[in-house]
Structure 1
Amino acid sequence: MKLLYRLMIAFFTVIITLMTVLRLAFINVTNETMYRNTWNQLKTYSDSLVQDAIRYDTFDHTFKGFENQALLSNAALLSNQHVHFAIFDMTQRQTFASNGFAPQISKNDWKKLKKGKTIYLRLTRPQINNQKAHQSAMTEVIRPYFYHKKMIAVVSIATFVSVVEENMHQLKINLAIAFLIATLAALLISYLLARSITKKIDQLRTATRQVAKGNYHVKVPVNGKDEVDDLARSFNQMTTALRESDQEIRRQEERRRKFLADAAHEMRTPLTTINGLLEGLRYDAIPKEDWNHSIELMQNDTQRLIRLVNDNLDYEKIRTNQISMDRKLFDCSAVLTNLKEQLNKRAAEKEDRIQLDVPAGLLVYADYDRFVQIMFNVIQNAIQFTSNGLIKISARRVERGCKFKISDNGIGMTNDQVKNIWERFYKADQSRSNQYGESGLGLPIVHELVNLHGGKVTVESKPKKGTTFTIFLPDPQHAPHRNSQN
C-alpha cells in the first residue's frame, strides 16, 4: 500500500476515533442534562400545584388538606403536557391521582422522604388508566412537603420517557448528519495532510533519481522545520558534498592526465637522446673519438631522468603531507653562506654574482634539510633565468618570524606566468628548460614545503626587470603544532 493511503488511513482513524468519543460523550452528557432538566421541570410543576391547592387554617395555622378543584384543574392542564401526578398523605395513603396515576413508593423511599430527600427515578412503569400509557416507561420525581418541620404530603409527578427520547432522537439525528459531514471533512483533511508529507517525499525520490543519474546540482525545496524538511536539508547537503567531490575527482583526473602528458613530454627528450646515441654506438655511426662525449651525454640525460622521477616522488610526498618534518631553531646565516658557496660556480657560468645580506646568528624555526631545499631551488631558479646579473639574498627578523628575499634582475615574468609557476612541470621560459636539468618541479616543491612550515611565499616580477621571491617562516609559537607527518 502506498504511503499516501497509509497516512490517510492513520489520520482518518485518529480523527474519526476522536469524533466518535466526543459524540458519545456529548450524547451521554446531553442525555443526562435532558433528564435533569425534565426533573427540574417536574419539581417546578409539583411545587406549583401544591402551592395552588394547599389549604391552611388561618387561626391556628394548621394544615387542612388540598382543594380538590385546584388539583383537578392542574391535572387537566398537566395532562395535556403528558405529565401525571399523585398525592400521598403522611400515612402513605394516596389521596389524589390524575388520570388514575398510581405510582408505588417503597419503604426505603419513604424513609428518605421523611428525611426531606427528593427521589428521582429515570425509568418507572406506574399504572395509568390509558392502556398505551400503561405500557410506556416514565421518569418520575417524588417530592416531600413539610409544614412547621412536619411532613404533610408527598407528591409523585412523572412524564413519559418518550417525551425525553423524542428530543434525544432528534438530537442524535442532527449529530449523525453532523458526523457524516465531519467524516467527509476528515477524509479531505486526511488526504491533504498525507499529501503534504508524501509530496515532499516524492520530491526527494525524484531528486534521488536525478542524483543516481549523475546530476548533483539538484536541490529539494525546504519550507518548514519538520523531520521531512530536516531530511531535505540533509539531502541538499549531501548533493553539495557530492558535487564538490565530483568536481574534485574531475580536477584530480585532469591533474593526473596533465601529469602523465607532462611527464611523458619531459621524459621523451632525454630518452630519445639516449636511444639515438645507443643506436649510433651499436651501428658504429659515431666516431670513436666521440664515444666518451656520447657516454657523457647519456649519463647526463640519465641523471636528469633520475632527478625528474625523484622530484616527482618528492613532490607527491610533500603534497600529500607524507614527509617527516623535524623543525628546530638553527642559524640560517651559516646555511645561506654555504649555499652561496655551492652555487657560485653555477652563477659564474652565467656571469652572475650572488650577494648575501643576512645578519649573523639569525635563527629560523624550520626543518633543516627542507629549508636548504627551499632556498636552493629558489636561488637556482634565479640563476637559471638571469644572465650577467645580480642575485640578492637577504634575511630579516620580522614580527612572528623571519622573512627571506631572493631577487634577481633577469628576464622576469608576466602576470600570467606568475600565476602558473606553482603548477607542476610549468616552465616560464621553454627555451631554457634543459639547462641544469630543470624539470618544472622546483618551485611547486618550494610552495608545498613553505605551506607545510605554516609560512607563505609570494612573487613579484616584471618582464626584463627581474623577479623577487619573498618567503616568510613563522616562529615556534606561531607555527603549526606538529613536527612530523608520516
Structure 2
Amino acid sequence: MKLIYQHMLSFLLIILTTVSIIGFSEINNATKQSYEYNYQRMEDFASALGTLAVSDEKNGSAMLNPKFLHKLEFVLHSDRVYLSVFDKHGTQIYPEKNEDISLTSKRVMQLRQGKKLHIKNNNEALSSLGHKKAACTGVLLPWKDKGKFIGAIWLGVRVAKVERPVTIAKQNLFSALVSAIIVGLMLSLILSFYATDRIKKLSSATKKVAAGDFDVQTNYSGNDEITQLADNFNQMVRVLKKSNQEVKEQEKRRDQFMADAAHEMRTPLTTINGILEGLQYDAIPDKAKPKSIALMNRETKRLIRLVNENLDYEKIRNNQINLVKTTFNARKTLDDVTMQLKQNAAKVSDTLTINAPRDLPIYADKDRFTQIMVNLVQNAIQFTSDGEIQISGYRVAHATTIIVEDNGIGMNQQQIKYVFERYFKADTSRSSSGKGEYGLGLAIVSSLIKQHGGKISVQSEINHGAEFTIILFDRGYEQYLEN
C-alpha cells in the first residue's frame, strides 16, 4: 500500500474512532437520562394518584375501588400511561385478565419493605408483570393505607416512547459518521499529500545522488522528523561530495603513479635488456662489461625496491606485520641511519646532523623504527639541495619525540593534506633529483607509527623546508586510533 493511502487510512480511523466514542457516549448518556426522567415522571404520577385515593376514602379503600381505578385509567389514558394494580399478595386485580398474573415473592417482599422498583422493560423483567406486545418501562411502587401495605401499583409507558430521543440521537450519530467520513477523507487527503510530497522530493533527490549529482540540496522548514531527515540528507550529500572529490583526486594521483611506475620500470628493463643482448652477442667490450654488469645490478635493485615498497605497504596497512616492541637506545639507530644515507646526501651537497642525547630510550620495534627513520631522512634528502637536514630527539612525559627537519623546497597546504597518502608525490620538477619517489615512503611511515600507537605530524611552507615530528609512547601509554 502506498504511503499516502496509509496516511489517509490512519487519519480516517482516528477521526472515525473519535466520533464513534463521543457518539456512543452521548447515546448512552441520552438513554440513561431518558429512563431516569421517565422513572421520576412515573413516581410523580403515583404520588399524585395516592393523594387522589386518600381524598376518596368515603368508599373504603379507595385504591382497590373499581370505580376509582377506572377514574385513574381514564386520567392516565390521555398520557399513554399504562396502569396495573396488585393486591397485598402480589396478584393482579386490575385490569382483570383471564390469565393469572402475580408478582414473585421476592418482589412482594421488596415492596413490603417500601422499595421502589424501576423496571426497564416489563417483557424482560423478572417480576411477572405480564408480557405486552409493545414493551413498557416504568415503576412498581408499594401502596399503603394508613401505614399498612395493601398492594402495589405499576405505572409504565411504552419503551419506544421513552427511547424516541435515543433514536434521534442514533440518527444524529449516523449523520455525524457520514459527515466525518466525508470531511475525514478530505482532510486526510490534504494532510497525507503534504507529508508524502516532502518524502517524494527526498526520494527524487536520493535518485539524483545515486546518479552522481552531489549538488542536490533539499530546503524544508519546520522542526519535524521529515525536516530533520532532510537536514541529515543534506549533510550526507555534502560529505559524499567531499568524498567523491577526494576519490577523484586519489584516482588522479593513482593514474599519475601508474604512469610514473610504468616509466620507472620501463627504463631499467630497457637498460637490462640492452645489456643482456650486448653480452649475448659480444657487442660490449671486455673493459666495459664490469660497468655494464654493475649498471644492470643497480637497475635490478631499483625494480625490486619498487615492488617491495608496494608489498610492504599492503602488509602494514592490513596489519599483517608483527611488531616486536622493546626499549632500546634510539641514538644508535639515528647514527646508523645517518651513516647509511650520508653518501646519498653528499650527492646533492646536503649535510646530515644529529641533535640528540647519547642515551635516548625509545619503546618501539627496532627494525620498523629504522625503516621509519630511513624513509623520513631519504624524503628530506630528495627535496633538499645544498642544504642541511637535522635529526633531533628528546624525551617527553611517557614518550620519545623525534624530529626530521630540512630547509628544502617545502610544501603548500594542499600537499601537506595528502602527504601521508599512498602514491602521493610532491612536484617532481622541484625535487633535488627531478624524479621524485614512488609515493609510498611516507604512507608506510604513517601506517607504522599508527600501529605503534604513536603520532606523526608535519609543518611546512614553500621554500622554507619541512619538519616531520613523530612521537612514540612508552609501554602502556600508547594511543591507538580506530581505522
Partner of 2:141: 143
Equivalence for 2:425 = 426
Cα distance, 1:365 vs. partner?
1.4
The aligned residue for residue 130 of structure 1 is none
1:450 corresponds to:
449
Contact 2:87–2:150 (Cα < 8 Å) also in 1: yes
**Structure 2 match to 1:267:** 265
After TM superposition, the structure 1 stretch with the greater mean CA deviation from structure 2, 77-86 or 232-241, is 232-241
Pairing 1:34–2:34 present: yes
Matched AA of 1:365: Y
The answer to whether structure 1 residue 308 and structure 2 residue 306 are counterparts is yes
The residue aligned with 2:473 is 474
Residue among 319, 325, 340 paired with 2:323: 325
- Which of 384, 397, 400 is residue 398 of structure 2 equivalent to? 400
Structure 1 distance, partners of 2:374, 2:73, is: 129
Q: Separation in 1 of the partners of 2:92 and 2:415?
A: 125
Q: Which residue of 1 aligns with 2:256?
A: 258
Query: Which residue in the other structure is 2:410 paired with?
Result: 413
2:359 alignment partner, SS class:
coil
Please, which of 356, 359, 364 is the counterpart of residue 358 of structure 1?
356
Whole-Å Cα distance in 2 between the matches of residues 95 and 391 of structure 1? 132
Specify the SS of the correspondent of 1:478: coil
- Please state whether the residue corresponding to 1:476 is helix, strand or coil: coil
Distance 1:242 1:322, change over 3 A: farther
For 2:155, the equivalent position in structure 1 comes to: 157
TM-score after normalising by structure 2: 0.72
Q: CA deviation at 1:357?
A: 3.6
Gaps of 5+ in 2: 124-131
SS of residue paired to 1:477? coil
Task: Give the CA deviation at 1:43.
Answer: 1.4
Partner of 2:126: none
The superposition leaves residues 4-63 of structure 1 with CA deviations (integer Å, 9 ceiling, x where unpaired) of 4466557656765775676566545534542332232121012123224414999xxx98
In the superposition, the TM-score normalised over structure 1's length comes to 0.72
CA separation of 1:196 and 1:160: change in aligned 2, threshold 3 A: same
User: Does the CA contact (< 8 Å) of 1:417 and 1:428 recur in 2?
Assistant: no
Q: Structure 2 vs 1, CA of residues 11 and 103 (structure 1 numbering), >3 Å: closer, same or farther? A: farther
Kindly indicate whether the alpha-carbon contact (under 8 Å) linking 1:461 and 1:468 is maintained by their aligned counterparts in 2: no
Q: How many angstroms does 1:306 deviate by? A: 2.3
Q: Provide the secondary structure at the position in 2 that maps to 1:146.
A: strand
Contact 2:356 2:393 in 1 (8 A): yes
Contact 1:52 1:70 in 2 (8 A): no
CA distance in 1, matches of 2:4, 2:465: 73
Q: Secondary structure at the match of 2:364?
A: strand
Which structure has the larger Rg?
A: 1
- 3-state DSSP class of the match of 1:365? strand
Secondary structure in structure 1 of the residue aligned to 2:171:
helix
CA contact (8 A) 1:46 1:157 kept: yes
1:54 counterpart = 2:54: yes
Change (3 A) 1:325 1:222: farther
Shift of 1:330: 0.6
- Paired residues of 1:63 and 1:147 also in contact (CA < 8 A): no
1:480–1:83 CA distance, 2 compared to 1 (3 A): closer
In 2, Cα distance between the equivalents of 1:417 and 1:26? 76
The verdict on how the C-alpha distance between 1:101 and 1:156 changes in structure 2, with shifts beyond 3 A counting, is farther
Residue 102 of structure 2 is matched in structure 1 by 106
Say whether the 8 Å CA contact 2:61–2:145 is kept in structure 1: no
1:425 to 1:25, Cα distance in 2 relative to 1, 3 A: closer
The answer to whether the 8 A contact 1:413-1:462 is kept is: yes
Query: Contact 2:425–2:436 at 8 Å: present in 1 too?
Result: no
Residue of structure 2 in register with 1:182 after alignment: 180
CA distance in 1, matches of 2:353, 2:115: 125
Taking a change above 3 Å as real, the CA distance of residues 262 and 323 of structure 1, as seen in their structure-2 partners, is farther
Q: Is the 8 A contact 1:357 1:395 kept in 2?
A: yes
Q: CA deviation at 1:368?
A: 0.9
Superposed CA offset, 1:402-460 (max 9, x none):
22344456x54354696375563625564766599965544444444334431324344
How big is the alpha-carbon RMSD for the aligned residues of Structure 1 and Structure 2?
A: 5.1
Distance 1:441 1:96 in 2: 118
Question: What is the distance in 2 between the residues matched to 1:362 and 1:196?
Answer: 70
Tell me: CA distance 1:261–1:42, structure 2 relative to 1, closer, same or farther (3 Å).
same
- Code of the aligned partner of 1:404: I
Q: Distance in 2 between matches of 1:332 and 1:72?
A: 130
Q: Find the aligned partners of 1:92 and 1:408 in 2 and give their Cα distance.
A: 124
Of 376, 385, 388, the residue aligned with 1:378 is 376
Instruction: Classify the secondary structure of the residue corresponding to 1:82.
Output: coil
Q: Which residue of 2 aligns with 1:131?
A: none
1:45 has 2:45 as partner: yes
Does the Cα contact within 8 Å between 1:317 and 1:323 map onto a contact in 2?
A: yes
Name the structure 1 match of 2:129.
none
